[in-house]
Chain A
Amino acid sequence: MPDQFLYAVEVIINGLMAGVLYALVALGFVLIFKASGIFNYAQGVMALFAAMTLVGIQKGQIPFAKLINTVMGTELEHFPWTVPVIPAIILAFGVMILFAIIVEKYILKHLVNQPEIILFMATIGLAYFMEGFGDIMWGPEIKKLDVGLPQGGSFWIEDMTIGLGGENFYGFFIDKLDMVATVVAILLVAALTIFSQYSKQGRALRAVADDHQAALSVGISLRFIWVLVWSIAGFVALVAGIMWGAKSGVQFSLSLIALKALPVLMLGGFTSIPGAIVGGLIIGVGEKLFEFSIGPLVGGATENWFAYVLALIFLVFRPQGLFGEKIIERV
C-alpha cells in the first residue's frame, strides 16, 4: 500500500484517540449543563485542581505549606508519608466532592432562579478563584504525575505493521497513553450511562435535566442533585487531569484544555453524553486530517482554528449540535 495512504490511516487513528481526550474534557461540561443549564467555565480549572490535589496527596505534600511557613515561620513541606495511587485517587475524588458541596452551599444555592448568564458569570469567578487557590494550596511549580500510566508508542503495533508499506513506512505509531485514555473513556461513559439509566439518583438527575419545576414538585432535592452532578463532573475532571497531566506534567496550562472542549461541545451539543464522545472523535480526526493534508500547504498550525470551522459548519445545519436536544418554544 502507498505510504501516504498508510500515514493518513495513522493520522486518523491518532485523531480518534486525541478526540477521546477532548471528549473527556467535554463530558464534564455536558454533565453540569444537562443537570443545571450552567455552562461551567471552571471545568478546565477543575481538571487542574483535581490533578494538583492528586499529586499533592500522593507525595504527602502539606497543603498551604508556603502560606503556613510564611505566617508561622515554620519550614513545613511534606508529611512523613506518601500515598499509593488508588487511595490517592479516592482521596482526590473526596476533595472534589467536598468542593462540590462548597460550591453548592456558598454559590449555587444563592443563585437559584437567577438568569443563566449570572450562573455563567459565577463560574468565571469560581475559575479564577480556584486558579489562585490551587496555587496557594499546592504551589505553582510543574509537578510530575506518576500514576503508572504507560507512555510512548506501542512497539508491538509498530513492529506488526511495519511491513504494510514501502521502505518509507515505519509502522503505525499509537501512543499507549492514548489507548489507556480510550479504554478509560469507554468505561466512564458506560458507567455514566448505567448510573443515569438504572440508579435512583441517576433517574432523579435526568428528571431535573428535563424539567426543574416538575422534578421539584415530585420531591427531588435540587440541591442534592447539584452536589451530585458537580461531584461527578469533579471525577470526570480528575480523569481528564490525569490523562492530560501525564503528557505535560501537572501545571497551570491544564486549565486551558477547556479550549479543546469548546468545538466538541458546539458540534456534539451541550446536553448529550454520546454527543460529547462523537463530537470529540469528529473534531480529533477532522483537525488532524486537515493538518496532515492541507497544513503543509498553508504553513501548518491549522488545528486550533480548523476545529472551530468544523464545529461552525455543523452548527449552521444543526444549531442544537449533533446530538443536542432541539428546543421548540411554543407561544
Chain B
Amino acid sequence: MQLVSSSNFTTTLMKSFNKLFFSPIILIALLSFGCNGFLDVNDNPNAPVSENLKLSATFPAALVASVNQETGQLNQLGALWGGYWGTTSEGINLFFNQKTYNGPGLRDVRDGFPVWETTYTTLLYYRLIRNQAAQEGALFYEGAAKIMQGFHFLRLVDFYDNIPFDEALQGTTHATPAYESGEMVYKKAVDLISEGIEDMKNAPAGTLAGQDDVLFAGNVTLWAKFGNTVKLRALVRQSEVSPLAYIQEEIKKINIEGSGFLMLGQSAMVQPGYLNSAGKLNPFWENYYRNVQNAVTGNYQDIRPTQFLLEQYQLRNDPRLNQLYVPVKGEFRGVLFGDPEVNHSLYGRNVTSPMKGPAENNGQAGALLKSSTQASVLLSSFESLFLQAEAAQRGWISDAPKSLYEAAIQESFSYMNVEKFLFTAYNSQESVAYDGSLAKIITQKWLSLNSISSIEAWNDYRRLGLPNFPNSLQSPNPTAHPLRLMYPETERMTNLDEVLKQGNDNITESRIWWAK
C-alpha cells in the first residue's frame, strides 16, 4: 500500500504554504527590525491616564461615586438598622447578616458589606483630583475635593471609629496606614471642609466648574452652604460628648464664613443626566423599584416598611404616608424587622404595603419614586433644616427652633409631593406641633429622611436612642444593638497590627466615640 503521489502533495502544500504564509511574515519581521523604536510600544493606546485628563473629566465620576454610596449602600444599611425596613416572608433570607447583627459576616471579604472599601476608593478619586488641582492651581476643584473628602471621612468614623486619615490614600508611601482616633479624624475632617470652602471662594472667576459639577453646577455659594451643613452635622453628632466650647467655636467659624446652611429648595442633589437605559437609570429606582425593562425588582417585592414606621405616620395622620406606600385592601400593612418566622398571611408580599411609584399612582410621582431619571439626594434641604432646628434647640445658633422645625417638615412635604395646604392641619396636631423637645425634632427628622438618608436614623439612634424603634427579632440577645461595623477582613489581611491596636471592634459591644 502506498500513498498516491505523496511527494506531489508535499510539494504543492509547501509551495502554497510559503507563498501565502511566510513571505509576508518575513517581510514584516524585517521591517520591524528596521525601526529604531522597536521597543517603544508601551504607551497605553486604550485608556487615558491622569496626564491627559482634565479635571472636568474626573470630577463627575467622583461625585456620582459619592452619591451612589449614600443612596445605595449607606441608605440600605441605615434603613434596616434605623427602623424603616423589614422584609416580606418570601424575602426572609435577605439581609440575613444585617438582621442577625453578624459582624464577621458583614466584614467578610467574599460576601461582606464593604463600606470601608467603597469609601476609601471614592476618597482616592478626590485625593487625585486634589493633587491635580493643586498642580494646576484649580482652586474650585481643590476646594470641592477637600469638602467631599471631609464628608466621607466623617462617614467612615461613624462606621468604624478609629481610621487612617493623615497616612491614608498614599499608595505604598504608607502601605499600612496608621489609624487615628475617631475624635481626631472628626476634627481634622471639619477643618478640611473649612479649608475647602476657603479654596473655592478664592477661585478666580472663569476657573469654576460648569456642567461637570453635577452637584451645584459651579455655584460656590451652594458648595459653601453644603460644606457648612456637613460641618453642622458633625457638630450635632458630638452633642452628647464634646465640650460646648469646641462646638461654639466651630459654630462661630461657620458664622464668620457667612454663607450659612442649605436652605429651602437647596438640597444637594446629583444629576449626571440619568437615562432610561440599562446601567444609566437612577440607581435607587433601578435597585428598589423597576429595572430598565420596567419589571419590578426583587427588592421592590420583598422590602417593606416596618409596622412601627407605618404606625408612627398613622398616629400623626401623616399625609406623606399615602404618597410613600401602597395600601392593601385599604390598609397600610408593614412587617417586623428580623422576623425569623415565615408567615405568609400576615407578612407575605401580597398582603403588605410596598413603596408607591408612578405605576401605582396614576403616573404621578410618589414620595420617593418619581421617575427613572430623578436626581439623587446627597444631603437634603430638610435634613439641613432639622440639623439647624436641633442646633437652635440646643442654643448653639440663634434662630428660632420652631420655625426651622416647621420649615423642615414643609420642605419634606414638598419633596414627597404632598400638597402644601395639608401642612397646617398636620402641624396643628399635638403629636406634631413643636413643643421644644428634642424628641419631636428627631422623630420628624426620622419620618422625613425615610429611605432618603436613612443612615442618619441609625446615627441618631446610636447618639440619642431616638426614635425608639423595635430591635431585630433575630438579635443575638434582646439588648444587643448594632453599634458599628467591624474592621473589614481586607483590612485584617493587610493592616492587622493597626486593627488589633484599636481593641475590641465587636459589632454589638464597641461604640463610636460620639455615641452615648
- Chains A and B form a bound pair: no
Q: A residues near B, CB below 8 A?
A: none
